[in-house]
């Protein structure tokens, strides 16, 4: 059991931390790819700003729609964290969630912990490479119902890289908490290092079976191994 002290806010990564990587890789990303062409063709006039962002990112203002589609598919293959791609994926996922074709996956222990933290008055924020739009869709259309009421806010890569300690300092300022009173949970060691450098309490979540090298302090495989002290009138 890992115990924390004087936590006022919790910041959570999504993929591999509170939701399975398989859900994202095997359901969400393929869904967006299958519907990309049709969505762009049907909403081209509405998403002209996003298309212009792709042109700007590629340094070619003359790209036509078909060429932009090819760029977006390439970015998907490269797993690029590009804002226009993330925004477009979020729009496509919205259609899937609202139609019932998609339903957000979360680990039982993560939902249980989030509910307990919320009841105790902790601020719970999400920081993910997925757009804020996509995050809200995932939580509002989950297998556990609408979880958005349990959350105080969302952050994505518009705040900065998740591997940059400055991003975590910016989040601390945005939510009005001293860094040392914020608990950050992620499955990415680089993110844990960046958050720790910024002064946050940071714990690595490693869902798969852990080796002896992973058994030290600061690593959990389930939220049931975590005792968070703080809030409830503090």
Any idea what the CATH number is for the domain that residue 89 is in? 1.10.720.60
Do 91 and 122 lie in a common domain? no
Do both 50 and 70 map to the same domain? yes
Helices of type H across the chain: 21-23, 29-43, 48-58, 65-77, 83-99, 108-119, 132-140, 165-175, 189-197
Using the 8-state DSSP alphabet, how is residue 28 labeled? Answer: I
Same domain? For 74 and 58 the reply is yes
Q: Picking from 39-43, 78-82, 152-156, 203-207, which range would have the lowest pLDDT averaged per residue? A: 78-82
Whether 134 shows a pLDDT value over 90: the answer reads: no
Residue 207 shares a structural domain with residue 94: no
- What range defines the domain where residue 133 resides? 2-19+104-227
| Res. 221: pLDDT tops 60 | yes
pLDDT 10s digits, 178-193: 999 999 999 999 999 9
Domain limit, last residue, from 56, 76, 99: 99
Question: Among candidates 53, 60, 56, 63, which has minimal Cα distance to 84?
Answer: 53
pLDDT confidence band for 231 (50 / 70 / 90): low
Is residue 234 one of the residues assigned to a domain? no
Q: What is the pLDDT of residues 135-179, one digit of tens each?
A: 998 999 999 999 999 999 999 989 999 999 999 999 999 999 999
Last residue of some domain: 39, 66, 99?
99
| The pLDDT of residue 163 | 97
34 Cβ neighbours under 8 A, 6+ residues apart: none
The model's pLDDT over 108-126, given as tens digits with 9 standing for 90+, comes to 999 999 999 999 999 999 9
Mark which of 99, 120, 145 sits at the end of a domain: 99
Q: How far apart are CA 135 and CA 155, in angstroms?
A: 9
Q: Quick check: is 233 in a domain? A: no
Same-domain check for residues 28 and 14: no
Q: CA-CA-CA-CA torsion for 198, 173, 124, 82, nearest 10 degrees? A: -80
Laid out side by side, the sheet with 123-127 consists of 153-155, 123-127, 9-12, 182-186, 201-205, 219-220
Regarding whether 180 and 145 lie in a shared domain, the answer is yes
Residue 15's Cβ-side half-sphere holds a number of Cα atoms within 13 Å equal to 18
Closest CA to 87 of 123, 62, 111, 57: 57
Over residues 58-62, the mean pLDDT reads 97
Per the structure, the count of domains in the chain is 2
pLDDT, residue 212, reads: 45
pLDDT band at 130 (very low <50, low <70, confident <90, very high): confident
Give the chain's mean pLDDT.
Answer: 92
């Amino acid at each position: 059991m890992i115990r924390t002290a004087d936590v006022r806010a919790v910041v959570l990564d999504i993929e591999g931390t509170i939701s399975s990587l398989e859900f994202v890789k095997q359901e969400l990303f393929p869904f967006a790819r299958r519907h990309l062409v049709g969505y762009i063709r049907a909403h081209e006039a509405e998403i002209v700003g996003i298309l212009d962002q792709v042109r700007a990112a590629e340094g070619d203002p003359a790209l036509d729609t078909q060429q932009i589609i090819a760029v977006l598919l390439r970015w998907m293959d490269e797993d690029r964290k590009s804002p226009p791609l993330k925004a477009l994926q979020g729009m496509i996922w919205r259609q899937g969630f609202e139609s019932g074709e998609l339903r957000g996956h979360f680990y039982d222990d993560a939902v249980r912990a989030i509910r307990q933290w919320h009841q105790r008055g902790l601020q719970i924020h999400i920081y993910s490479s997925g757009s804020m739009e996509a995050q809200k869709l995932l939580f509002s259309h989950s297998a556990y119902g609408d979880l958005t009421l349990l959350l105080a806010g969302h952050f994505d890569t518009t705040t900065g890289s998740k591997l940059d300690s400055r991003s975590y300092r910016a989040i601390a300022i945005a939510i009005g908490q001293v860094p040392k009173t914020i608990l950050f949970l992620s499955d990415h060691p680089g993110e844990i290092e960046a958050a720790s450098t910024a002064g946050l309490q940071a714990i690595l979540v490693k869902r798969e079976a852990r080796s002896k090298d992973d058994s030290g302090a600061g690593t959990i495989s389930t939220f049931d191994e975590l005792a968070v002290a703080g809030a409830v009138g503090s």
